[in-house]
Amino acid sequence: MTTATGKHRSRTGTLGRKVAAFLTAAAAAVGIATVATSSASADDRDDLGPNNCIWSDYGNFVQNCWFHSDAMGQDIQVQIKRSNSDAAVYMLDGLRARQDWNGWTWQGDIGSVFTNDDVNVVMPVGGPSQFYTDWVGQYHGSEGPFNPRWETFLTSELPNQLAAGYGISPNNNAVVGLSMGGTAALNLAANHRDQFKQVTSLSGYLNTTAPGMYLALQYAMGEGNPGANIWDMWGLPLDPARFRNDPLLNVPKLNGLPVWLSAGTGIAGPNDDFFADPMGGMAGFGLELMARTETAPFELAARAAGANVQVSYPMQGIHNWTLWNPELKNARPAILDALHVQYRAEGPAW
Q: Residue 241, by phi and psi: left (phi above 0), alpha (psi -120 to 50) or beta?
A: alpha
Q: Where are the alpha helices (DSSP H) in 140-252?
A: 150-152, 158-166, 180-191, 213-224, 230-234, 240-244
Q: Over 3-56, what HEC string results?
A: CCCHHHHHHHHHHHHHHHHHHHHHHHHCCCCCCCCCCCCCCHHHCCCCCCCEEC
50, 93, 194, 250, 267 from 184: Cα distances, Å: 28, 10, 16, 11, 25
| Cβ-based neighbours of 60, under 8 Å, separated by 6 or more | 1, 2, 81, 105, 110, 111, 115, 349
Active site residue 299: no
Active site residue 288: yes
Question: What is the spatial distance between Cα 224 and Cα 73, in angstroms, rounded to a whole number?
Answer: 23
Cα diameter, the chain = 71
Residue of 56, 83, 294, 319 marked catalytic: 319
Q: What is the DSSP letter of 134?
A: B
Question: What is the spatial distance between Cα 349 and Cα 22, in angstroms, rounded to a whole number?
Answer: 26
Q: What angle do CA 80, 97, 161 make, to 5 degrees?
A: 35
Count the helix, strand and coil residues of the chain and give each as a percent rounded to the nearest 5: 40, 15, 45
Residue of 143, 157, 288, 327 marked catalytic: 288
Active site residue 151: no
Q: Mark 162-182 as b/e (b = at least 16 C-beta within 10 Å).
A: beeebebbbebbbbbbbbbbb
Residue of 179, 201, 203, 262 marked catalytic: 179
Burial (0-12, 13-18, 19+ Cβ within 10 Å), 33: exposed
Q: In this structure, what are the phi and psi dihedrals at residue 31, rounded to the nearest 5 degrees?
A: 90, 10
For the annotated catalytic residues, the residue numbers are 179, 288, 319
